[in-house]
Amino acid sequence: MHSLDIGEVVQQSGVPASTLRFYEEKGLIASVGRRGLRRLFDPSVLERLALIALGRSAGFSLDEIASMFGPDGRPQIDRQTLAAKADELEATIRKLTAMRDGLRHAADCPAPSHMECPTFRRLLKLAGAGAIGVSGKKSSSRQR
C-alpha cells in the first residue's frame, strides 16, 4: 500500500490538518515521512483516527486515549477503564434525564408560579446541593 499524504488523510477521515498535526505532536499518530513539505501517513492511520474519534465521543481525554495504545501502536484497551467510563456516562444520563424531566414539569406545571410548586422547590433544593440525578430522587421530578 502507498502512503497517504496529509491532504488525503484529511479528505478520507474528515479530521482537519491542524488536528492531525496536534495528534502527531501528542504522540497519538505518527507520520512515516514527507513528500516535500507534506506529511505522509500509513493508511492504518485512518483506523487509528476512527478509534481516537470513538474515544473522544465517549468522553475520554486525549491522554487517556494515548494510554490505550501499546508500544507497537495497537489498541490495548483496559476493560475496567471502559466499565468505569460506562458508569460515568450512566451517571450523566441520569442527571440529564432528571434535568429534562424537571424542565418538562416546569413547562407544564399548573401552579401559578414555579416557586409555589412543591416539585419545583424540591428540584431547586437538589440543584442547590449539586445532587440532581445523583440522589436517586429523579422520579420525584415526574410528580406534580
Residue 73 scores a pLDDT above 80: yes
CA distance 126 to 115: 14
Assigned domain for 47 exists: yes
- What is the value of pTM for the model shown? 0.72
Number of domains into which the chain is organized:
2
With a cut of 60, say whether residue 41 has pLDDT above it: yes
Per the structure, the complete domain to which residue 60 belongs is given by: 4-66
CA-based nearest residue to 88, from 55, 127, 46, 59: 59
**3-state class of 110 per DSSP?**
coil
Examine the domain organization and report whether 127 and 105 are in the same domain: yes
**Distance from C-alpha of 85 to C-alpha of 5, rounded to nearest angstrom:** 34
**Signed CA dihedral, 26, 31, 33, 37: sign only:** negative
Domain stops at, among 32, 66, 100: 66
11-20, 65-74, 92-101: range with highest mean pLDDT = 11-20
Residues 89 and 126 occupy one common structural domain: yes
Helical residues (DSSP H) of the chain, grouped into ranges: 6-13, 17-26, 45-57, 62-66, 79-108, 118-128
Separation CA 124–CA 117 (nearest Å): 10
Look at residues 66, 97, 120 and tell me which one is the last residue of a structural domain: 66
pLDDT at 133 over 50: no
**102 occurs within a structural domain:** yes
